[in-house]
Amino acid sequence: MNQSVKRYGVIGIALLLTFSAGVFTGCSKDKKASSAADVSVKENLPDGLKTAHTVNATGTIEVAFSPKGGGTELVVKAIKEAKKSVQVQAYSFTSSDIAQALVNAKKSGVDVKVILDKSQESEKYTSATFLANAGIPVKIDHDFAIAHNKIMIIDGINVVTGSFNFTKAAEEKNTENVLLMRGNKALADLYVQNWQWRWSGTEDYKAQ
């Protein structure tokens, strides 16, 4: 290879490396700027939730699995145990049994409030309208790609959670799990704090 070819070959490689570095640096900056712009103040976690928490074990835990392992029955039982309040966060909510249990709790004097993902505004079989028509305050969380929680807090001390959406499909077609954790106030307090943060940042459901 003659000196001219070598010289231009080295220059070409240098230019390619310089260009590549600029492109990747620019992409990185753009991505960071975009990510920062996507997060509004109201989406920031409360200070008390910005780290993992260790909570001492106390109370009891009841678990059910699906398909057809009693997940819906366990959620309904938890609602029936409510004496004061039921605070709900749900991604998908189409279970008529669970919706009816919440309405029954409302009728018995329990303070029931529900937060749903924005998909429930257009979902064909959502329970949102049924709950709202029964006088239960329902709010929609628009702030995130998915409001993916499946949570109920009962009387500020018992917590329902797990992968189990409050749907017929979760009970009959999917492999899911649902936990009912009773009597752990410290744990429930964390879930309540998270629930209250989203309740204050959501909008009232408007039936379509």
pLDDT class of 203 with cuts at 50, 70, 90: confident
Matching residue, tokens 């189990």: 164
Indicate which residue of 97, 111, 143, 155 is catalytic: 155
2: pLDDT strictly greater than 60: no
Residue 155 appears among annotated catalytic residues: yes
Residue-level pLDDT at 69:
96
Whether 148 sits among the annotated catalytic residues: the reply is yes
pTM, full prediction: 0.76
| Residues 6+ away with beta carbon under 8 Å from 71 | 64, 65, 162, 164, 170, 171, 176, 177, 178
| Active-site annotation holds for 206 | no
pLDDT, mean of residues 15-33? 38
Identify whether the C-beta of residue 56 lies closer than 8 Å to the C-beta of residue 114. Answer: no
| C-alpha 96: how far from chain center | 21
- Give the pLDDT confidence score for residue 11 in this predicted structure: 38
With 0-12 / 13-18 / 19 or more C-beta atoms within 10 angstroms meaning exposed / middle / buried, residue 69 is middle
Is residue 21 very low, low, confident or very high in pLDDT (cuts 50, 70, 90)? very low
Q: Tokens 């929609």 belong to which residue?
A: 140
In the set 148, 173, 185, 206, the catalytic residue is: 148
pLDDT at 166 over 80: yes
Residue 118 scores a pLDDT above 60: yes
The full set of domain ranges for the chain reads 3-38, 55-204
Mean pLDDT value across residues 43-59: 90
The CATH superfamily assigned to 55-204 is Endonuclease Chain A (3.30.870.10)
What strands lie across the sheet with 60-66, from one edge to the other?
60-66, 176-182, 158-162, 150-154, 85-90, 111-117, 138-141, 203-204
